[in-house]
Amino acid sequence: MTTAVLPQLPADADDLSVWPASTTRLPDGGLAVAGVALAETAERFGTPVYLLDEGEIRARCRMYRDAFPDADVLYAAKAFLSRAMVRWVDEEGLGLDVCSAGELELAVTAGFPPDQIVLHGNAKSPHDMEAALRLGVGRIVIDSPSEIARLASAVGPKGHQKVMVRVVPGISAGGHEKIRTGTDGQKFGLSLTDGSAQHAIARIIGQPQLQLTGLHCHIGSQITSVKPYLAALRRVVGLMARIRDTHGVVLPELDMGGGHGIAYRPGEPALDLTALARRLRTELIESCAAAGLTVPRLIIEPGRAVAGPAGIALYRVLAVKRTGGQVFVAVDGGMSDNPRPALYGVRYAPRLIGRRPDTATCRATVVGRHCEAGDILASDVPLPADVRPGDLLAVPVAGAYQLSMASGYNLVGRPPVVAVHEGRARLLVRRESLDDFRSRDVGF
Query: β-strand 72-76 against 49-53: which pairing, if any?
Result: unpaired
Q: Give the C-alpha separation, 216 to 199, whole Å.
A: 16
Residues 6+ positions from 110 with CB-CB distance below 8 Å = 83, 86, 87
Query: Is residue 371 annotated as part of the catalytic site, yes or no?
Result: yes
Angle at the Cα of 67 from the Cα atoms of 64 and 72, rounded to 5 degrees: 60
DSSP bridge partners of 393 = 315, 352
Residue 390's CB is within 10 A of a number of other CB atoms, namely 9
Query: β-strand 95-98 against 351-353: which pairing, if any?
Result: unpaired
Q: Quick check: 101 and 120 in contact, CB under 8 A?
A: no
What is the SS3 string spanning 157-222? CCCCEEEEEEEECCCCCCCCHHHECCCCCCCCCEECCCCHHHHHHHHHHCCCCEEEEEEECCCECC
Query: What angle do helix axes 54-67 and 83-91 make, rounded to 10 degrees?
Result: 40
Angle at the Cα of 137 from the Cα atoms of 134 and 138, rounded to 5 degrees: 145
DSSP bridge partners of 212 = 163
Q: Give the C-alpha separation, 285 to 277, whole Å.
A: 12
Q: Quick check: 32 and 26 in contact, CB under 8 A?
A: yes
Q: Give the C-alpha separation, 102 to 86, whole Å.
A: 13
Residues 6+ positions from 439 with CB-CB distance below 8 Å = none
Residue 327's CB is within 10 A of a number of other CB atoms, namely 21
Q: Give the C-alpha separation, 205 to 214, whole Å.
A: 12
Q: Give the C-alpha separation, 185 to 243, whole Å.
A: 24
DSSP 176: S
Residues labelled catalytic: 371
